[in-house]
């Protein structure tokens, strides 16, 4: 039996485990998917050692960047983004195990947001500076959209929330939330942007998918903006992960 799994901490509300095990059952694939909730990235060595039948791993918070030194190779997107959420296991010469890192977040994000873009969507604000924001920035760049990160603290090449002026809100008609603000159970939270300056020209994309409609999305909808949550991105990145493991 082939084995796949998810590396992260904590993993209480993992989508991947349920999704892949249901897929394996429905398609009669002789495989299982396990959560590897490890408190330290160094524990990846034990996971690999104790599970010789592993064919692939997904990687989630907080290890998308920390896992890179443990890999033998990165594909182009993962290297440019600097974050990995899919690892493919292959056997090389003399049965030596080789781990290659990929980023399927960028695939899911691009395929999900592209149909919503129109000629007014030329610039984007990306809220948050974690691993997911890197994939989003890279994806927007590939779609021809100029993007700027927004951080709570002063950082190089980032705006702070206080620096979002009416002029910026007018120019930057795509706003992507990559922060956990508004995720269940804290559904009354949202990123601190000037929602009163939103218009029907704006597109608000939230990587969160629980709840279905976050406060960030609700506030956008009230101003006539187009809104979308991250569920489709999540599904598309899972499809892409499976394709990576199979090729």
Hey, which residues are catalytic here? 64
The answer to whether 31 and 4 are in contact (CB under 8 A) is yes
- Round to whole Å and give the CA distance between 158 and 239: 32
Q: Are 187 and 215 in contact (CB under 8 A)?
A: yes
Nearest to residue 240, comparing CAs of 132, 138, 105? 105
Please classify residue 24 by burial: count the beta carbons closer than 10 Å to its beta carbon, then call 0-12 exposed, 13-18 middle and 19+ buried: middle
| CA atoms of 57 and 55, how far apart (whole Å) | 7
**Residue 154 main-chain phi, psi, to 5 deg:** -65, 125
What does the alpha-carbon distance between residue 16 and residue 225 come to, in Å, rounded to a whole number? 30
């Amino acid at each position: 039996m082939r084995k796949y799994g998810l590396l992260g901490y904590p993993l209480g509300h993992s989508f991947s485990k349920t999704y892949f095990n249901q897929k394996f059952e429905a398609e009669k694939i002789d495989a299982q998917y396990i959560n590897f909730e490890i408190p330290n990235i160094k524990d990846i060595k034990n996971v690999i050692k104790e599970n010789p039948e592993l064919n692939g791993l997904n990687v989630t918070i907080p290890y998308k960047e920390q896992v890179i030194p443990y890999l033998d190779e990165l594909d182009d997107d993962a290297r440019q983004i600097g974050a990995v959420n899919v690892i493919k296991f292959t056997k090389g010469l003399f049965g030596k195990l080789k781990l290659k890192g990929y980023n399927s977040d960028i695939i899911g994000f691009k395929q999900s947001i592209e149909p919503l873009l129109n000629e007014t969507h030329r610039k984007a604000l990306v809220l948050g500076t974690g691993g997911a924001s890197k994939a989003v920035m890279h994806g927007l760049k590939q779609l021809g959209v100029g993007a700027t990160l927004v951080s709570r603290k002063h950082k190089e090449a980032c705006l702070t929330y206080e620096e979002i002026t009416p002029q910026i809100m007018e120019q930057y008609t795509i706003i992507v939330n990559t922060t956990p603000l508004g995720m269940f159970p804290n559904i009354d939270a949202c990123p601190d942007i000037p929602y009163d300056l939103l218009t029907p020209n704006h597109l608000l994309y939230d990587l969160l998918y629980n709840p279905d409609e976050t406060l960030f999305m609700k506030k956008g909808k009230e101003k006539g903006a187009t809104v979308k949550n991250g569920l489709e991105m999540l599904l598309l990145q899972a499809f892409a992960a499976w394709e990576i493991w199979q090729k």
